[in-house]
Amino acid sequence: MKTRVLVSVMTYPTLSEKHFETVCTAGFKENGEWIRIYPVPHRLLCRYDKNTYKKWQWIEVDLEKNPQDDRPESYHIRDIDTLVIGETIQGWDLKRKWSFKNKRIYNNMDELIEKTKRNEVSLAIVKPTRIEDVTFVKIDTEKHREKLSKIKANYEAQRRQFNLFEEQQAFDISFRFAEQIPYKFKYVFYTEDGKRRELKIEDWEIGMLYRNCCKKYPPEIACQKVRERYMDIAKNYDIHLFLGTTYQWQKKNAPDPYIIVGVFWPPKI
């Protein structure tokens, strides 16, 4: 099924033994409904002679329901050769239009989680009543280093094999795996149910902001700069949180199976 999708969510890249590196992409179909596309080897699309796409850009691709993921919005790419990258939408008015088209904006997380337990929804927009803080904590990176070492070796082995057959374009010799972010950032917020929520932020932008701050500051100061920026967004803009469940935690009926996969912050009206 060839489907047009306006990309509104891209998570920070994660390692994959099968695809080397993947990005969870989500966005809106032409009728405004949510759709999740996973896995996508986004930064390795050159292997398929495809350009990479960006947030707020239309793509069209042949999709099918993901047989390994029964969440209602989950699809995967059936034929990568059908991927066509279209125009990018500009301006907050258009982004508002597509973000809010044919969607429920949740003001109550309890209500959203109840629907999630019935597997009716796994992507949603939440409007917090108050954002209290941005927290950050250092994480153990040893497992990531071990996994990265194995995947790098596999990538190099396959690249050398392809080079023997003069198919260098299948593997980019200059490709570098995304740097792991050694800190976990969370928004602490409330909705109309009055409960304090603390959800991890995993969008592409927060990872890149941290990396850019590290070019000027030591890691702890870089984290403070990230916190300041995301608190500024919370205080001074019309913030909405794009939430998505992690498959594992939704299946385990976790109290809060969601993570923040995108932060939408148009100007206040």
Q: What is the percent of the chain where pLDDT is above 70?
A: 79
CATH placement of domain 104-139+182-264? 2.40.50
Q: Could you tell me which CATH class the domain 2-93 is placed in?
A: mainly beta
With 0-12 CB in 10 A as exposed, 13-18 as middle and 19+ as buried, what is 100? middle
**CB under 8 Å to 70, separation ≥6 — which residues?**
119
Helix axes 204-214 and 219-236, enclosed angle (nearest 10): 130
Residue 173 — very low, low, confident or very high, per pLDDT cuts 50/70/90?
low
In the predicted model, what is the mean pLDDT of residues 193-210? 94
Whether pLDDT at 160 is above 90:
no
Q: Is omega for the bond preceding 39 within 30 degrees of 0, making it cis?
A: yes
Structural domain boundaries in the chain: 2-93, 104-139+182-264
Whether pLDDT at 165 is above 50:
no
pTM: 0.86
Residue 213 — very low, low, confident or very high, per pLDDT cuts 50/70/90?
very high
Q: Is 160 helix (H, G, I), strand (E, B) or coil?
A: helix
In the predicted model, what is the mean pLDDT of residues 94-114? 96
Whether pLDDT at 89 is above 80:
yes
Fold match, 2-93 / 104-139+182-264: yes
